[in-house]
Amino acid sequence: MLVIMDKESEQITDASLILSANRALWNEVRPNMRRVSVDYDRDKNTITLLIYYDQPLSEEELDYDVSGIIVAEISADFPQEVRWKDEVIICPYPEKIPDRGLCIFQRYEPTPQDKQNG
């Protein structure tokens, strides 16, 4: 069983978010995903899932709703009082991805310097 709450403080921890989100991503990472992060706002008691894609989602991808599946999996590990948001952001490569939240997945993307050396 996955322990998601710090018993002493009854707080959601970064470690619990990372473990839960990592498990939720199993079999859900797609080739056009650049980064997946989670962010917990303690003041608002809200967890936000951030998924950065390389290109707009296809109709099939929209119908499948991968972000909804990931949120459902993560939410099963946390108390019902926690609020949820998910943000799908289109950020084409090589545009820089904002550093927001705890990074759970980020695909390898060569930098211009890597291309010169390779």
Residue 69: CATH number of its domain: 3.30.70
pLDDT of residue 111: 78
Query: Mean pLDDT over residues 95-100, rounded?
Result: 95
In a domain, 78, yes or no: yes
Quick one: pLDDT band at residue 2, thresholds 50, 70, 90?
very low
In a domain, 13, yes or no: no
In a domain, 81, yes or no: yes
Query: Mean pLDDT over residues 79-92, rounded?
Result: 94
Show the domain range for 39.
30-107
Nearest partner of 37 among 107, 90, 94, 102, judged by Cα: 102
In a domain, 25, yes or no: no
pLDDT of residue 31: 95
Intra-chain end-to-end CA distance of the chain, in Å? 44
In a domain, 62, yes or no: yes
Which residues are CB-contacts of 55 (< 8 A; sequence separation ≥ 6)?
A: 32, 90, 92
Residue 95 Cα distances to 2, 6, 64, 70, 117, angstroms: 36, 37, 26, 25, 20
Quick one: pLDDT band at residue 1, thresholds 50, 70, 90?
very low
Query: Mean pLDDT over residues 93-114, rounded?
Result: 91
Query: Mean pLDDT over residues 16-37, rounded?
Result: 96
Nearest partner of 82 among 16, 8, 33, judged by Cα: 16
Counting the structural domains of the chain, the total is 1
